Amino acid sequence: MKVLLVASLLVACFVLSQGSTYRRVCYYTNWAQWRQGIGKYKVSDVDPHLCTHIIYAFAYFRDTDGEIYPIGGQDDIDSYAALVALKQQNPDLKILLALGGWNFGSLKFSNMVADDVIRGQFVKSAVTFLRQHKFDGLDLDWEYPGSRGGRPADKANLVILCQELISAFKADATATGKHRLLLTAAVPAGRGTAMAGYDVKPISESLDFINLMVYDLHGGWDGKTGHNSALLPSSADTGDDVYLNMNETAAWWNKSGAPKDKIVVGMATYGHTFTLHDPSNSGVGAPAGTGPGGKYTGQSGFWSYYEVCQDIETGGGAVEFDDESKVPYFVKNSLWVSYDNKRSMRLKADWLKAEGYSGFMIWALDLDDFNKVCSSSAKRYPLINAIIDQLGEVPATTPGGETMTTSGETTSEQTTEQTTEQTTEQTTKQTTEQTTEQSTQGTTDGGGEAFTCSGKDNGYYPHPSDCSKFYQCVEGRTFESSCPSGLHWDVKVNACNWPELAGCSV
């Protein structure tokens, strides 16, 4: 019996007899428990059904002997156990341990991978530590190979490290009869940093998936306002800044050798603050320095989403939406905040679905409105749920053996924010592989028939003379796409399907 291969995808990238879904990868930070008031976040605040993977950030290791250790000692160990216990409520949940992070830096990684003996000790320590604390895998958060004190040889040595880790994980699974430990990595958005430190194709062969850190793209360090996590470029971008956005970053990693079914795109539940030099000049690219820290998060130039939405709701400011980059910003006197809201998250979900990437990654759980303190939050974790609702997933099992389930919420949240949310708006970025944007006057096939989206509702439409093609209409604009080889467009489910199930007869 043949089953539906792809549902609810613009481009059917996952061709699996078992079905398809999206990875929902969420970072849990071990320092959020020390915040005060509504900012305090503990394992008891975690929804075990919200994410498919939770990554505990962070643990460290010694570069003298490769031994991994918890930063917070027994407090971290207790938190490990509490997170793993969530699997009693959701047996499909995967808990991973992130190693490194920004504060850990690059030098110790560089030292460890350069020494064959210490690297071997590190690999053994990884297996022992993960099994001891019942983790499901390891997330390498090396920031960054070849940079910040690293060496040019880091690029090749990272490949060796990944190969040795995955080999050890496979051997451990064979020896113990347990599920193989997962191996993932968090990687940068900056093209120069990525080119210097990552041999993308060979590391992709060892990694189960790759988390793209497509945030912190702009901040007060730029001396001007800019978006923290733009979907698309802005006309204010110059030089290499035109590549600092979600679409360009994901495309570069894919073209460099990371398959789309391993690319997980990072999304931020926080914003960056700026102080405008001149409040009368408040657009994107306006002269500005680093802004204030949040009341609860306390980091200069950094606000959680719940801090942003609270400040918006006090009044006195204005929310603008950048139609070029598809993200909002908030201006209040000299305060300028780049952040994401439910509208931008839905647009990013639409883009992710259209491009065929394997899922999204959240930094971080404790920065969304997990306590529902803002009146605009109709449910806990409004940003994360906006993505999940927009993707409209179904349960499935991936080829690597990971079972991933949904939160059980399939209807889109339609609440009103401070700005007017246009929930039917779709991204209009021209895709670079299978989708070709046509003019609003219509497209013409070989037989001379013209198709136009003018006057049509947003949505999908069959090609009039080719069963393997279809159109997407977005605000009157026409996008022509092709199904993967051998599949036809199925109007019954708005997805590519086996020809005998699609029933196309043009």
The residues annotated as belonging to the active site are 143
Nearest to 336 by CA among 258, 295, 278, 264: 278
How far apart (Å, rounded) are the C-alpha atoms in residues 111 and 403?
A: 36
How far apart (Å, rounded) are the C-alpha atoms in residues 223 and 4?
A: 51
Q: For residue 368, what are its two tokens?
A: 């969304």
How far apart (Å, rounded) are the C-alpha atoms in residues 451 and 445?
A: 8
Say which residue the tokens 């360090």 belong to: 221
Cis bond leading into 144, ω under 30°? yes
Residues contacting residue 371 through CB under 8 Å, at least 6 positions apart: 38, 45, 306, 380
Going across the sheet that includes 459-462, the strands are 436-438, 477-482, 469-474, 459-462
How far apart (Å, rounded) are the C-alpha atoms in residues 143 and 103?
A: 9
How far apart (Å, rounded) are the C-alpha atoms in residues 66 and 115?
A: 10
Please report how many Cα atoms fall inside a 13 Å half-sphere around the Cα of residue 286, on the Cβ side: 21
Cβ contact 142:106 at 8 Å: yes
Cβ contact 453:477 at 8 Å: yes
